[in-house]
Structure 1
Amino acid sequence: MALGPRLDLRQSQSLVMTPQLQQAIKLLALSNLEIEAFVGESLDGNPLLDTGVAEAPAPVESIESMPDEARRTALETSGVDQLIGEGRGGDDRPLDIDARALDTERDTGDGAAESAFSGGDALWGAGGGSLSGEDGPGIDERPGADETLTEHLTAQVGAVALDMRMAAIMHYLIGQLDEAGYLPARVSELAADLALDEREVEAALTLVQTLDPTGVGARSLGECIALQAREADRYDPAMARLIDNLDLLARGEIPRLKRMCGVDDEDFADMLAELRGYDPKPGLRFGGEPSLPVTPDVLVTPAPAVEAEGAPSPEPSSGWTVAINPATLPRLIVNRGYYVELRGTCGDKASRAWLSEKLADANWLIKALDQRQRTILKVASELVKQQQGFFQRGVAHLKPLTLRAVAEAIGMHESTVSRVTSNKYLQCPRGTFELKYFFTSGVGASADGEGGASAEAVKAAIRQLIDAEDPKAILSDDTLVDLLKDKGFQLARRTVAKYREAIGLGSSVQRRRQKAIAGK
């Protein structure tokens, strides 16, 4: 073959996405706050976009009498029904694509609950944040604290500091406290950082420990409890020995503690009651960044009884009405009057091209937001249909569900469903839940996700059994396996232990110690 330049013609296939389509796909995954920010930026950058409800056109500006471009604008900004009436229903194309080449988000598994306290778990409970109520992780719509711990302590420094030097050291120590109010660093290390004498830093720490709330600035759980006991004038020798041996209390060695403290059963019970009244993490009364209340995207309510024939049925027609929350609907219109005014002043080609570009961007954004709401409603309706047992009878009847099952049911790609359910919330009579909550793994399910029981349903059953157990007959994991089998759950012992730990419940030994202490 001769060497030399030549031209070759090749044919290939590739997935090409326009910038607008890429942006439309990104809009699906945005939360309410992100959508609000995006709409605000679009309003600032496009003079043809406006908020509010579209006004009826004046008689002189009727659709029939408009110029061709203005008439096309009016049709594209009107409802879908009007597009269909004009024979242009095909323009309302969905934004879903077969995105097999795109990344597909996967739902993660269940995370283990974090322990609520750093020490003395047998005294205050071994579990961390537990699921409230039968339905599990409902989302509380409550605002965060108005004042942080640092702000609260800093405001008190001036009342106790002896001079400006001591106040500066106290401010530094307050900045080193963790969110629970503890000082994790050693005083010697802090003194070396400040190039000060260790006794001076220790004196400043003593002043910090006098601030409200009592217990801040402690270096251990025992010191935190001791500070509160001194404040309550209950730090006698017996209480001091009890606080110094919290590890024995956690292990349930009650007889040994009573001998060490030199008290009888009645006095020891009073000491335990006093101990339970102290706060092991006083700093948690104050928040860091205030948390915003959750605004649900979808509202699910029981459908009213349909009496008259021909009345519109709820969507889906399964006893529940699924609707988009009106508070999350961006109300955007194209200001046609301003467009006509600008079009009359555009004399050069560049100005007309700029105006046409802004008009196309405005039309696309309105259509993309409308399609986003339709897609969310479609996915949420299918979730309600698939999880009828949860909405009617609670979390114990939550079924295993995968993204693929929902995607196949509504005729969309799995990645689209994943984006739609990210950062979206559903409000129903049982509480407010993230849409991802309804996609749960199955225990003993087949490879396609059908059959078996939901992991959330298993957790609810385990919690119900443990809450009802007799303090004198604590249920072991093997016993839980047998009891769950009677309820229809075929589980291995290690699976039961994993779910028990995930919801913050201790082992049978830990629960026996806790209830023994509570009985005392």
Structure 2
Amino acid sequence: MKSRPRITIAQTQRLSLNTALATSIRVLRADAAGLTQFLEEQAAENPTLVLGAAPPPDWLPRWGQALRALRGGGAQDLDPDEIVIAGAAPSLAAHVGHAIAALRLPPRAQRIADQLALALEPSGWLGLPLARIAAETGASDEEIEAVLLRLQELEPTGIFARDLAECLRLQAAEAGHLDTIMAGVLERLPLVAQGALGRLSRDLGCTADEVAQCIRRLRGYDPKPGARFQGGAAPIAVPDLVATRGGEGWQVALNRSALPTVTLAGPKGPERAAAAALIRMIEGRNATLLAVAREVLRRQEAVLEAGIGAVVPMTMADVAEALGLHQSTVSRVVAGAAVDTPGGTFWLRALFSPAVRQDGPAGAALRDALARMVAAEDPTQPLSDADLAQALAGAGAPLARRTVAKYRGILGIAPAHARRRRARR
């Protein structure tokens, strides 16, 4: 039987991705830095779109503890032994361990580096004085200082700092901002915490504007570079959202200082209409982002209190249904959005974690529990994947050994035999 071509008439319906729709999707999924760049490109092409300076930012929540320590002691009052016990999560330890191994230090310097790594706090700062590390290793102060300088060259810049000022000084030097004024500001951080710009400008013999510029640069640095290795942590950049705790509980707001102000200028015409349409898209994006973020953090309020280990099962479909949005809209708006909290800067997307089984805990919470177990293990007798699976089962979260191995890989934790070999070294 021969097949013959036939002409038929049929009616179909499809979505055409026109320029306006493509632009709307791009605006919806852009983070603060990407949206700023897009607006600059549009303003260069359209003279009726006028960009102004972003509003001056307040200190972000992740700076709160660091600045409180300057005003009232804070972290300086912690017991050094407690700091070591509560040390860095395995993901930070794994990063530091690999970076130190890549330096190929001589055996004596390697022992000193290992002791310095053990003294790291979760913030990335050293939690023990160098004199104590020198006593434990039998090394001289000069040897300790020499190894410390090598370790302070590791990424992220600021780890292995002895205090907040040194952490920020390392970042300022890397950025090429460590001039005389910046050095003077870093020596007077308590005045920065008090907002005493007039006193700073008088002490340094410069203008208040020059001091304000240094402080703006400081806000872009990370006071706790080790915190970015926590589960769900976002790289330090300009966050889209800020979560703060007030008298009425947790409040979530847009970080208005993350985007430039946008206004219209010039006579009416096609260009002005296009600029007005773009402004409406941005306003819609901001409203959608804020609504989604408030719903997400309302469901995950425990994360703001206790960290990523307190995450509860939640999917994008759950949030979309609660807000009357399409699931793809939620997915796009949280794609690159980060929220700054007192405990660090988190990706919104990282707070979505389905249950490992029906009515079970969230996968992200189990990964955090796994990381804590490895952090608390005896380094000379590390837990195998089977041991970890059994321990999690005892805590009410039964997992297969292969699932534990998968989670361990996600966290960057080496197998038990590799951890044992590293401890013996």
- Match of residue 257 from structure 1: none
Residue 508 (structure 1) shift: 3.4
- Give the AA of the match of 1:295: V
| Residues 155-166 of structure 1 mapped to structure 2, 5 A cutoff | none
Which one of the candidate residues 320, 338, 344 is aligned to 2:250? 320
Deviation string 1:103-137 (CA, Å, 9 cap, x unpaired) is xxxxxxxxxxxxxxxxxxxxxxxxx994459xxx9
- Match of residue 304 from structure 1: 247
- Match of residue 400 from structure 1: 313
Residue 456 (structure 1) shift: 2.3
Is 1:333 matched up with 2:253? no
TM-score normalised according to structure 1 size: 0.46
Which one of the candidate residues 283, 294, 297 is aligned to 2:237? 294
CA distance in 1 between counterparts of 2:378 and 2:21 reads 60
Q: 1:39 to 1:469 in 2, by over 3 A?
A: closer
DSSP 3-state at the match of 2:251 = strand
- Give the AA of the match of 2:49: L
| Residues 35-434 of structure 1 mapped to structure 2, 5 A cutoff | 35-51=35-51, 130-132=90-92, 225=105, 285=154, 293-305=236-248, 319-335=249-265, 338-339=266-267, 355-434=268-347
Question: Is the Cα–Cα contact under 8 Å of residues 129 and 504 in structure 1 kept in the other structure?
Answer: no
- Match of residue 387 from structure 2: 479
- Match of residue 397 from structure 2: 489
- Give the AA of the match of 2:302: G
- Give the AA of the match of 1:380: A
- Match of residue 14 from structure 1: 14
- Give the AA of the match of 1:30: A
Q: 1:12 to 1:471 in 2, by over 3 A?
A: closer
DSSP 3-state at the match of 2:252 = strand
DSSP 3-state at the match of 1:442 = coil
Residue 221 (structure 1) shift: 7.2
Residue 225 (structure 1) shift: 4.2
Residue 285 (structure 1) shift: 4.5
Structure 2: where are the runs of 5+ without partners?
1-6, 54-87, 110-136, 158-173, 176-219, 222-235
- Match of residue 27 from structure 1: 27
- Greater Cα shift, 496-505 or 357-366: 496-505
Residue 9 (structure 1) shift: 7.8
CA distance in 2 between counterparts of 1:491 and 1:425 reads 30
Q: 1:8 to 1:384 in 2, by over 3 A?
A: same
- Match of residue 184 from structure 1: none
Residue 461 (structure 1) shift: 1.3
- Give the AA of the match of 1:324: L
CA distance in 2 between counterparts of 1:8 and 1:504 reads 58
Q: 1:501 to 1:358 in 2, by over 3 A?
A: closer
Deviation string 1:365-396 (CA, Å, 9 cap, x unpaired) is 11111111011111111110221221223222
Question: Is the Cα–Cα contact under 8 Å of residues 469 and 475 in structure 1 kept in the other structure?
Answer: yes
Residue 507 (structure 1) shift: 3.3
Q: 1:14 to 1:504 in 2, by over 3 A?
A: closer
Q: 1:486 to 1:363 in 2, by over 3 A?
A: same
Q: 1:356 to 1:497 in 2, by over 3 A?
A: same
Residue 10 (structure 1) shift: 5.9
- Match of residue 364 from structure 2: 456
Q: 1:424 to 1:286 in 2, by over 3 A?
A: closer
- Give the AA of the match of 2:310: H
Question: Is the Cα–Cα contact under 8 Å of residues 297 and 325 in structure 1 kept in the other structure?
Answer: yes
Question: Is the Cα–Cα contact under 8 Å of residues 330 and 369 in structure 1 kept in the other structure?
Answer: no
Question: Is the Cα–Cα contact under 8 Å of residues 91 and 412 in structure 2 kept in the other structure?
Answer: no
DSSP 3-state at the match of 1:47 = coil
Question: Is the Cα–Cα contact under 8 Å of residues 225 and 278 in structure 1 kept in the other structure?
Answer: no
Q: 1:453 to 1:357 in 2, by over 3 A?
A: same
Residue 409 (structure 1) shift: 1.9
DSSP 3-state at the match of 1:417 = helix
Residue 282 (structure 1) shift: 8.4
DSSP 3-state at the match of 1:426 = strand
CA distance in 1 between counterparts of 2:10 and 2:365 reads 56
DSSP 3-state at the match of 1:422 = coil
Residue 481 (structure 1) shift: 2.2
Deviation string 1:283-319 (CA, Å, 9 cap, x unpaired) is 96489997985010011112323xxxxxxxxxxxxx3
Percent identity (aligned): 31
Which one of the candidate residues 494, 497, 503 is aligned to 2:411? 503
DSSP 3-state at the match of 2:397 = coil
DSSP 3-state at the match of 1:50 = strand
CA distance in 1 between counterparts of 2:344 and 2:30 reads 22
Residue 472 (structure 1) shift: 6.5
Q: 1:432 to 1:482 in 2, by over 3 A?
A: same
Q: 1:513 to 1:14 in 2, by over 3 A?
A: closer
CA distance in 2 between counterparts of 1:320 and 1:282 reads 38
Q: 1:284 to 1:471 in 2, by over 3 A?
A: closer
CA distance in 2 between counterparts of 1:404 and 1:421 reads 13
Residue-pair matches, total = 279
- Greater Cα shift, 471-480 or 423-432: 471-480
Residue 24 (structure 1) shift: 1.0
Q: 1:221 to 1:9 in 2, by over 3 A?
A: closer
CA distance in 2 between counterparts of 1:414 and 1:357 reads 33
CA distance in 1 between counterparts of 2:8 and 2:374 reads 74
Structure whose alpha-carbon radius of gyration is higher: 1
CA distance in 1 between counterparts of 2:10 and 2:383 reads 71
CA distance in 1 between counterparts of 2:420 and 2:155 reads 33
Deviation string 1:33-69 (CA, Å, 9 cap, x unpaired) is 221122222223333333459xxxxxxxxxxxxxxxx
CA distance in 1 between counterparts of 2:91 and 2:105 reads 28
